[in-house]
Structure 1
Amino acid sequence: MDFSPLTDALASKSYHRIADICDKLMLQVAYEGISFRDEWPYAIHLLGHIYVDDINSARFLWKMIPFDVKESKPEISAVWKIGQRLWTKDYGGVHEAIREFNWSPECHTVVAAFSELYTKRMFELLVSAYSTISIQDTSLFLGMSEDDAANYAVQQGWTVDAASRMLTVKKQVVAKEQKLDPSKLQRLTEYVFHLEH
């Protein structure tokens, strides 16, 4: 089995491509009738779906993995623990699941990239959902200590009230769609017409 597309994606840190590559390879292997049971990179494949926030496909893949493979390779179960936390929207639990396993070098880079991406996603969620939030809750969502979470938020332009231990969210500036003035469009049309004739 040629895993070079997967190896290349990992080497180039194109983690968003992992799930698609593995899905296509799995279909190819199934079509060719090749047994891949023990050497398939299930942990990486699961991580690929988790990285692109495709938990339904991750659940489906998890159900396909033979029980004895899950039992013999604890890293697969550790990856699925992240998936379970995402499925149940246990935001703090996602970070715990990431931290509590000693990842192989192969998975470590993908898990670290996912952790960073997940923290950004959670921060965007906080920005869209809150105008003020406690430092404690922020640290839970971001998977950081309270001090680190407060510092992270302040770096993003939020303000902190040390007395109440509350953060005031800085809303993102939404670009407004410009309306086209019909008179300007008419003048532009006349100008172009004049240039052409």
Structure 2
Amino acid sequence: MDVSVSGAGAINYEDRLLMIEQQELESQQGHLPPEIYCEFIALYLLQGDLNNCKLLWKRIPTEVKADCAELASLWEIGKCLLKRDLSGVFQKCNGHAWSGVTQNIVDDLKCKHKEKCIDLICKTYSTITAESAASILGCSVDECLTLSAQLGWEIEQDRKTLRPTKQQRKANVSIDNESHLQKLTQYISFLET
């Protein structure tokens, strides 16, 4: 996943997160502009790093939180994720007009969350009502039925009951053993010093 940052070209979300973390450390009094805080929280949410997101929210100055509606809206998404409110995440993502880079990150977050919800439904339910699935997926019943057909789920005659099929697991990506060994060696060396 890439994000275009003004003047910097397309960069990886993980790299951008590291840049913002470094920027926060180097800034005077550890404060950033509100739009950077928005991007910061959105990136933590996208990565599923709710602990760091929560800690970031606590250290953002109160006046910045009060003045930036987008920041508060992002935190609402974070609270839904913390409470495991699946449909609430979609409602909060769709309930705000996001700006620039934040819009791209929120769009990617919605896609990632939808994939997780689909996987959860497949693992959890042998049958589910279309209404319940639509609620979990944050969409209308008609959209849910269309998505179900695309996923190859059985749709009963009454069009009210779905039979999700188990998703095929993607083949494990080959692991670069040499890089893992190097990281482990560095970690052990660090512990020994």
Asked whether the two chains share a fold, i.e. TM above 0.5, the reply is yes
* Contact persistence 2:4–2:10 (CA under 8 A): no
**For the aligned residues, what is the CA RMSD?**
2.6
Structure 1 residues 1-197: aligned runs within 5 Å: 7=5, 12=10, 14-29=12-27, 34-35=28-29, 37=31, 39=33, 41-163=36-158, 165-173=160-168
Distance in 2 separating the partners of 1:35 and 1:7: 24
- Judged with a 3 Å threshold, the aligned counterparts in structure 2 of structure 1 residues 173 and 24 are, in CA distance, closer, same or farther, namely same
CA distance in 1, matches of 2:109, 2:169: 26
Compared CA separation, residues 37 and 146, structure 1 to 2 (3 A): same
Secondary structure class of the residue paired with 1:12? strand
Structure 1 residues 49 and 70: alpha-carbon distance in aligned structure 2, compared to 1, 3 A threshold: same
Output the CA distance in 2 between the equivalents of 1:38 and 1:82.
21
Cα deviations by residue, 1:4-41 (Å, 9 ceiling, x for unpaired): x9827x95363344433322332233xxxx24635251
C-alpha change, 1:36 and 1:166, in structure 2 (3 Å) is same
* Cα offsets for 1:98-135 (capped at 9, x unmatched): 11111112311111111111111111111111111111
Give, in whole Å, the separation in 1 of the partners of 2:82 and 2:159: 33
CA–CA distance in structure 2, aligned partners of residues 103 and 73 of structure 1: 12
CA contact (8 A) 1:6 1:18 kept: no
Q: Is the 8 A contact 1:6 1:21 kept in 2?
A: no
TM-score (structure 2 length as normaliser): 0.77
Evaluate the alpha carbon distance shift between residue 160 and residue 11 of structure 1 in structure 2; reply closer, same or farther with a 3 A threshold: farther
Amino acid aligned to 2:56: L
Checking the alignment, whether the CA contact within 8 Å between 1:15 and 1:51 is kept in structure 2 is: no
Q: 1:77 is paired with a residue of what secondary structure?
A: helix
Q: Pick the structure with greater CA Rg.
A: 1
1: CA distance, partners of 2:14 / 2:46: 7
Which stretches in structure 2 are left out of the alignment for 5+ residues?
Answer: 172-193
Higher relative contact order (Cα pairs below 8 Å, separated by 6+ residues): 2
Q: How many residues align?
A: 168
Query: Identity, % of aligned pairs?
Result: 23
The one-letter code matched in structure 2 to 1:39 is P
Residue identity opposite 1:146 in structure 2: V
Give, as a single letter, the amino acid of the residue that structure 2 aligns with 1:65. Answer: I
